[in-house]
Amino acid sequence: MDVATAIESRRSIRNYERRNLPAELLEKVLDAARLAPSANNAQNWNIIVVTDRALLERLVPVSGNQRFVGACSAYLIGVSKPGDEMSVIDTTIALDHVTLRAVELGLGTCWIGDFDPEGVKRLLNIPEGYEASICLTLGYPADAPSSRKRKQLSELIMSDGWGKDWK
């Protein structure tokens, strides 16, 4: 699969098969994060991977009570370092690489926008000086959501300054 196809095929999966990911497959997905660019190549982030079923269920209440969190194969928590202005950006880039590699490997993901960072931090024993900045589910899609309508490029992109039409 080429990158364009992965981008076009990626969907937010909110219905997962309750299946464990083979370690080799999970490692392939995570290696995409390792290869992501970061400011000064610092890779100033970490990812906690939760696959324990009981812990996945305990993450549901601190993840906006979204039940699919408990059904996914893995829950990834991007951990960044406050005070490093690029850490959250780099963490996001790393996890976005995960979303695209997951598509290539037949897996699905969903960004978790509604989560309690302090609750996640307490549950996973993330120490002071670090923050749970981004969460992502990963697993085998139980269905194939259709694509959603997107704005036209001309509605999103401007040329050479604000308010200047793109081409």
Overall domain count for the chain: 1
18 is in which domain, residue-wise? Answer: 3-156
Residue with token string 């990158």: 3
165 occurs within a structural domain:
no
Contact between residue 13 and residue 141 where contact means Cβ atoms under 8 Å apart: yes
162 occurs within a structural domain:
no
CA distance 17 to 96: 22
74 occurs within a structural domain:
yes
The pLDDT tens digits for 83-117 are 888 999 999 999 999 999 999 999 999 999 999 99
81 occurs within a structural domain:
yes
Q: Looking at this protein, which amino acid is placed at residue 20?
A: N
161 occurs within a structural domain:
no
47 occurs within a structural domain:
yes
Nearest to 79 by CA among 95, 102, 99: 95
CATH number of residue 14's parent domain? 3.40.109.10
**Does position 166 have pLDDT exceeding 80, yes or no?**
yes
The pLDDT of residue 149 is: 92
DSSP 162: T
